Amino acid sequence: MKALILAAGSGTRMGKYTENLPKGMLNVNGRTLIERQIETLRAAGIGDIAVATGYKSEKIAYAGVKYYHNAEYATTNMLETIMCAKAFLNDDVLIAYSDIMYTPELAKKCVEAKADIGVAVDKDWKKLWKLRYDTVDFDLETLFVDENGNITDLGRETNSSEGLDYRYIGLIKFSKVGLKSAFDIYGTRKKENAPWPQSGKEFKKGYMTDLLSELIRSGMAVKAIVSAGGWAEFDTAQDYERLSEALKNGKLTQNLMVKE
């Protein structure tokens, strides 16, 4: 099992905090987000780790880690960053967004999931949203899971938390079989060079959820790897300030559980 951390974006919603740093290099109570992820992945038994860089790539330098660079990070998005690391993706892999923290237990759960494609989701996400935003009706995306544990829909913007039992975390497990399916769909979409059906974004600006949605549409099983907390996301300047403080005062525990 390998791990790939996606750290190419400029993190504009972080404002002043990412003027000279990639978002994954933000210091959270003594350690950067990427440093924390590397430690977490190693604790989960994953030693072969790579980081896909873009914005301010020279700021990211950790021993024992491979690096791949998306030179076109400013005009592309996550899928193109992943494809810059395609040479690394020749085995089962856990792909992680760089702006999250998660526990070794959640990483292990992803590694051990019996799925060719598995997506970590949080069933207790509303606690984290109240800590981040004081409401659950903000920054919402669809994520629906059927009775067999398969994700049927994800990544579409919505205005209501009604019926949203799960939240996408940004931690995705692919087996070699799952990777082949993903590469096949990516290749087909690239030849068509048409906007992604899910988001409407032009091809080179596709999201991970665009690819996952196409995999679901193709009939591939995309399994939900269900967690109850155990993670945090640093998407905006407010997130960074609130969650850093919550980790200090204990409202967010070291196991990344929200104390109510």
DSSP 258: B
Q: What is the pLDDT of residue 112?
A: 97
Q: Is the full-model pTM beyond 0.85?
A: yes
* Predicted confidence (pLDDT) per residue in 114-126, tens digit: 999 999 999 999 9
7 DSSP β-pair partners? 53
pLDDT band per the 50, 70, 90 thresholds, residue 76: very high
Which residues does 206 contact at the CB level (< 8 Å), separation at least 6? 77, 78, 79, 80, 189, 196, 199
pLDDT(1) > 90: yes
Model confidence pLDDT, tens digit, residues 83-97: 999 999 999 999 999
Domains and CATH numbers, the chain: 2-249 (3.90.550.10)
Q: Would you state the pLDDT for residue 260?
A: 77
State both tokens at 147: 């009775």
- Tens digits of residue pLDDT in 143-197: 999 999 999 999 999 999 989 999 999 999 999 999 999 999 999 999 999 999 9
Query: H/E element holding 142?
Result: strand 140-145
pLDDT of residue 75: 97
Cα distances (angstroms) measured from residue 90 to each of 39, 85, 222: 23, 10, 19
Please report, in angstroms and rounded to a whole number, the separation of the first and last CA atoms in the chain. 36
Mention every residue, 6+ apart, whose C-beta is less than 8 A from residue 129: 135, 136, 138, 139, 167
Predicted local distance difference test score (pLDDT) of residue 111: 97
